[in-house]
Amino acid sequence: MKVLVIGSGAREHALAWKLSQSPHVTKIYAAPGSQGMAGIAEPVNIKVDAHNELVAFARENKIDLTVVGPEDPLVAGIVDLFQRKHLRIYGPTAKAARLEGSKAFAKDVMSRHGIQTGGHKVYDKAAPALEYLANCDYPVVIKADGLAAGKGVFICRTQEEAEAAVAEAMVEKRFGDAGRKVLIEDFLQGEEVSVHAISDGHNILPLCLAQDHKPVGDGDTGENTGGMGTYSPLPQITDAQNSVLERDVVVQTIHAMNREGEPYKGTLFVGCMMTKQGPKVLEYNVRFGDPETQSIMMRMKGDLFEVLNATIDGKLDTVEVDWDPRSVVTVVLASGGYPRDYEKGYKIKGLDSGFGPDVQVFHAGTKKVDGDWYTNGGRVLSVCALGSDLKDARAKAYAAVDKIHFDKMIYRKDIGFRGLKG
Ligand code: GLY
């Protein structure tokens, strides 16, 4: 079977790596892919938003399954288009993808179906938002309504910070149209977890829990990024809490989308806050998380191709997945300055080091020139390691990180710190 993976990041590299282990898969293409994936997926020079070109490629090359990595093509309706052309594609329709495409829509769905989330207000003009901010309690969370690559979220401890966030989104338009509306949300106390599940609209396959580290700096300091590292499993989350997450968040959401008349087929990734009152939804994502996927694929025992294929056919109940009981830690190596301005083109050393069988390095922003690797993006590499427990996985991941170097390289040195507490 031939597979086309859409996207070019470390998440897509990890998906392609896992798909390549399936005995059903004979060939993987990635559009646009990257040179870092070249050993497993042939890069195809088509951008993720060139939907008609992707359709033509899938047709001409007799692709059996297309897997979409990032959210933008899903929200823009790539699944609907492929379906209209009778091509097999994995992911939600544009209408279902509004769960991520509009945070205001997601809040409406939650409120209509009794799914627990924080209180919020939506504004499409700066003046009333600023008026609210002059009288509210702090901290608050300010979010751009639309897609902003994980960067349109501000935790504001003072009125001054909140006003700056509103100005950035609505006046300076840092996130373009995505900041046309902003949400001002209650700040929820607790620990955030990344809950992933796959659904065919009726059956649900929960994936292993992971935890991301969104702020750029150690100890959760600095600006929010797309994610600086993950680990799995989470020793601090009990089986009982995990069951509540599945029942009250995942199952409820899939049922809610059915009642909305928009059955949800694909990966549902819910950012949840574990509050004293139980889990509350922070946000929905309609695709695999990055860098959560890198950790999840490292632990997944089962055939990803069979899972995605069965999802399309509404037969998810016919496949089984197991999880490696070991722990995994993923550390993101990024370019200094990320998530804002950063420079590219620094030589990456050490990628040819022997990392051992429990380590995988997935490429995000890299480029190969004359046999040498160079930085070519904000998030550059994901370094993943399996270990007997979280401490061991973390030691192995950082030992691998120590072998890699590029100028202005930044990474968090505390991935997994919450799981190691206590
Ligand atoms: N790691 C967060 C995300 O993928 O949105």
Sign of the CA dihedral with 344 first, then 166, 291, and 413 last: positive
pLDDT in tens, 179-216: 899 999 999 999 999 999 999 999 999 999 999 999 99
Please, where in the chain does CATH 3.90.600.10 lie?
Answer: 327-420
Ligand 1, atom 4: closest residue by C-alpha = 289
> What's the gap in Å between 388 CA and the centre of ligand 1?
26
Nearest-CA residue for ligand 1 atom 3 is 289
271: CB partners within 8 A, 6+ apart:
192, 193, 194, 195, 281, 282, 283, 284, 285
**Within the chain, which residue ranges are assigned CATH 3.30.470.20?**
190-323
**Which is nearest to 15 in space by CA: 61, 53, 66, 83?**
66
Query: Ligand 1 centroid vs 193 CA: distance in angstroms?
Result: 11
Separation of alpha carbons 196 and 269, rounded Å: 4
Greatest alpha-carbon pair distance for the chain in Å reads: 60
Q: Is the CB of 150 under 6 A from ligand 1?
A: yes
What pLDDT is recorded for position 191?
Answer: 94
Q: Which helix (H) or strand (E) holds 274?
A: strand 265-275
Please check whether the domain covering 2-95 is classified as CATH 3.40.50.20. Answer: yes
Q: Does any ligand 1 atom lie closer than 6 A to the CB of residue 292?
A: yes
Question: CA 310 to CA 399: how far, in whole Å?
Answer: 38
Q: What is the pLDDT of residues 168-189, one digit of tens each?
A: 999 899 898 888 999 999 999 9
Residue of the CA atom closest to atom 5 of ligand 1: 289
Closest ligand 1 atom number to CA of residue 212: 1
Asked whether 289 lines ligand 1 (CB < 6 A), one says yes
Closest approach atom of ligand 1 to CA 227: 1
Report whether the peptide linkage leading into residue 233 is cis, meaning its omega lies within 30 degrees of zero: yes
In CATH, which superfamily holds the domain spanning 327-420? Phosphoribosylglycinamide synthetase, C-terminal domain (3.90.600.10)
- The radius of gyration computed from the CA coordinates of the chain, to the nearest angstrom, equals 20
The burial class, CB within 10 Å (0-12 / 13-18 / 19+), for 86 is exposed
Residue 201 and residue 342: Cα distance in Å, rounded? 41
CATH architecture, domain 190-323: 2-Layer Sandwich (3.30)
Domain with CATH 3.40.50.20 in the chain: 2-95
Query: Under CATH, what is the fold of the domain 119-186?
Result: Dna Ligase; domain 1 (3.30.1490)
Our mutation pick for probing the ligand 1 site, out of 290, 330, 331, 382, counting the most ligand atoms within 8 A of Cβ, is 290
Q: State pLDDT tens for residues 118-173.
A: 999 999 999 999 999 999 999 999 999 889 876 788 899 999 999 999 999 998 99
- CATH 3.30.1490.20 domain residues, the chain: 119-186
Q: How far is the CA of 131 from the centre of ligand 1 (A)?
A: 31
pTM: 0.95
pLDDT band at 61 (very low <50, low <70, confident <90, very high): very high
Q: In 3-state terms, what secondary structure has residue 331?
A: strand
Distance separating alpha carbons of residues 95 and 77, to the nearest angstrom:
8
Cα(271) to ligand 1 centroid in Å equals: 9
